């Protein structure tokens, strides 16, 4: 299964959430490839805490591989190479392999057919090798998004299962931006259609992830009653806005709560962090639930 992580805006939590979902999937026994298609700023190496790969690799990153400049694609075994002892020595994971970006990489200026062909071939091979292939795309209507849409419309990749996740924060601007990315004039659906996707089918394969959502009822941070009432009112208004922009609950894969650890540091939330009373249990649960729903066919029934 191919999973494409997208967002209209930057800083939505797309990479942090995708890496945590990748971790939870491999914890549940599935083999996972994490492919860093954020050509301008690859961050997965830092998230998995792999020395020397924090900002991508010098040779064989995804960007140079797709350009035909590198013969072989770099791959990193996350558990073997991570500096994070608790991840290395923690519960057994199924194979979790990072395909890092290039250090100092940039967005593609062209989307020529050779790049798309290479991308199609690469995704096809990874899809055969791994149960789940998560592709972290650059934000917005990027070349990465366009190449992925084009490649997945091509035979034989078109016949494989592809799912699209759109990440957004729980604010007015983010809701409207996420809706625009999918339904807008030059959005995902229109772009996909131009490459030969069936727009209805493509829409069925899209779900939204609401990230870092504050809990209006939380007393955790000594929230005052007036604040709680105000937050609750905003939350209701945002739900309405989401509904009227086709981002309502039925299209949502899940929500991640505001997590203090992630406000301070981009990382994988391990159960060890929860057991040490550092990370909130709800956060670990949210990632586990996202992972579960992502691979559950019931989530993807026709709406
Ligand atoms: N649930 C959460 N609670 C609090 N902070 C979060 C949460 N999820 C992500 N963050 C933080 O939000 C910031 C942006 O996250 P991330 O880098 O994953 O976003 P992105 O959409 O991949 O950004 P970019 O477009 O730059 O690649 C990071 O500092 C991250 O730690
Ligand atoms: Mg990112």
User: Does some domain include residue 173?
Assistant: yes
CATH number at residue 182: 3.40.50.300
Residue 255 parent element (H or E)? strand 252-257
How much distance in Å is there from the Cα of 48 to the middle of ligand 2? 13
How much distance in Å is there from the Cα of 233 to the middle of ligand 2? 30
**What DSSP assignment string belongs to 65-107?**
HHHT--SS---EEHHHH-S-HHHHSSS----EEEE--BTT---
User: Does some domain include residue 192?
Assistant: yes
Backbone angles phi, psi at 5, to 5 degrees: -95, 120
How much distance in Å is there from the Cα of 147 to the middle of ligand 2? 18
- Work out the pLDDT band at 175, boundaries 50, 70, 90: very high
Place of tokens 């995902």: 188
Distance of CA 261 to the CA centre of its chain: 19
Cα torsion through 120, 110, 174, 247, rounded to 10: -40
Planar angle of CA 189, 193, 194, nearest 5 degrees: 120
User: Does some domain include residue 26?
Assistant: yes
Residue from 107, 126, 97, 93 nearest 1 by CA:
126
- Mean pLDDT over 28-45 rounds to 94
Residue 82 has which token pair?
A: 């991570």
Query: Model confidence over 259-286: pLDDT tens digits?
Result: 999 999 999 999 999 999 999 999 999 9
Answer yes or no: is the C-beta of 211 below 6 A from any ligand 1 atom. yes
How much distance in Å is there from the Cα of 44 to the middle of ligand 1? 12
Query: Model confidence over 202-213: pLDDT tens digits?
Result: 999 999 999 999
User: Does some domain include residue 273?
Assistant: yes
- Work out the pLDDT band at 219, boundaries 50, 70, 90: low
User: Residue 220: what pLDDT?
Assistant: 61
Query: Model confidence over 74-98: pLDDT tens digits?
Result: 999 999 999 999 999 999 999 999 9
Query: Model confidence over 95-122: pLDDT tens digits?
Result: 999 999 999 877 777 778 999 999 999 9
Domain that holds residue 150: 2-217+251-295
In a mutational test of the pocket of ligand 1, which residue from 8, 13, 169 has the highest number of ligand atoms less than 8 Å from its CB?
A: 13
User: Does some domain include residue 50?
Assistant: yes
d(CA 120, CA 114): 10
- Mean pLDDT over 123-147 rounds to 96
How much distance in Å is there from the Cα of 145 to the middle of ligand 2? 14
Q: Answer yes or no: are the C-beta atoms of 181 and 7 closer than 8 Å.
A: yes
User: Does some domain include residue 234?
Assistant: no
pTM (two decimals): 0.97
**Helix, strand, coil in percent for the chain, rounding step 5:** 45, 15, 40
User: Residue 222: what pLDDT?
Assistant: 74
Q: What is the DSSP letter of 11?
A: S
d(CA 206, CA 300): 9
- Total domains in the chain come to 1
Answer yes or no: is the C-beta of 139 below 6 A from any ligand 1 atom. yes
- The residue whose CA is least distant from atom 20 of ligand 1 is 11
Distance of CA 187 to the CA centre of its chain: 18
Query: Model confidence over 126-137: pLDDT tens digits?
Result: 999 999 999 999
d(CA 13, CA 290): 14
User: Does some domain include residue 240?
Assistant: no
Q: Answer yes or no: are the C-beta atoms of 40 and 105 closer than 8 Å.
A: yes
Q: Is the pLDDT of residue 39 over 90?
A: no
Specify the ligand 1 atom closest to the Cα of 18: 18
User: Does some domain include residue 224?
Assistant: no
Percent of the chain with pLDDT over 90: 89
């Amino acid at each position: 299964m191919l999973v494409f992580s997208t967002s209209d805006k930057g800083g939505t939590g797309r990479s942090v959430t995708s890496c945590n979902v990748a971790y939870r999937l491999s914890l549940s026994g599935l083999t996972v490839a994490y492919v860093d298609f954020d050509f301008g700023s690859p961050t997965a190496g830092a998230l998995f805490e792999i020395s020397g790969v924090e900002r991508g690799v010098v040779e064989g990153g995804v960007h140079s591989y797709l350009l035909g400049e590198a013969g072989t694609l770099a791959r990193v075994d996350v558990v073997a190479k991570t500096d994070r002892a608790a991840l290395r020595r923690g519960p057994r994971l199924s194979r979790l392999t990072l395909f890092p970006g290039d250090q100092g990489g940039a967005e593609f200026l062209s989307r020529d057919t050779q790049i798309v062909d290479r991308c199609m071939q690469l995704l096809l091979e990874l899809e055969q090798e791994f149960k789940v292939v998560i592709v972290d795309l650059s934000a917005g209507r990027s070349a990465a998004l366009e190449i992925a849409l084009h490649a997945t419309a091509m035979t034989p990749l078109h016949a494989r299962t592809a799912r699209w996740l759109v990440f957004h924060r729980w604010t007015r601007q983010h809701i409207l931006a996420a809706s625009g990315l999918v339904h807008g004039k030059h959005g995902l659906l229109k772009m996909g259609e131009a490459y030969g996707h069936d727009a209805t089918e493509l829409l069925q394969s899209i779900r939204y992830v609401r990230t870092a959502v504050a809990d209006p009822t939380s007393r955790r941070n000594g929230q005052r009653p007036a604040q709680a009432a105000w937050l609750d009112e905003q939350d209701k208004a945002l739900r309405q806005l989401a509904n009227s922009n086709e981002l309502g609950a039925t299209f949502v894969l899940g929500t991640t709560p505001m997590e203090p650890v992630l406000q301070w540091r981009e990382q994988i939330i391990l159960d060890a962090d929860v057991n040490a009373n550092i990370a909130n249990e709800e956060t670990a649960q949210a990632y586990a639930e996202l992972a579960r729903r992502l691979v559950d066919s019931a989530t993807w029934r026709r709406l």
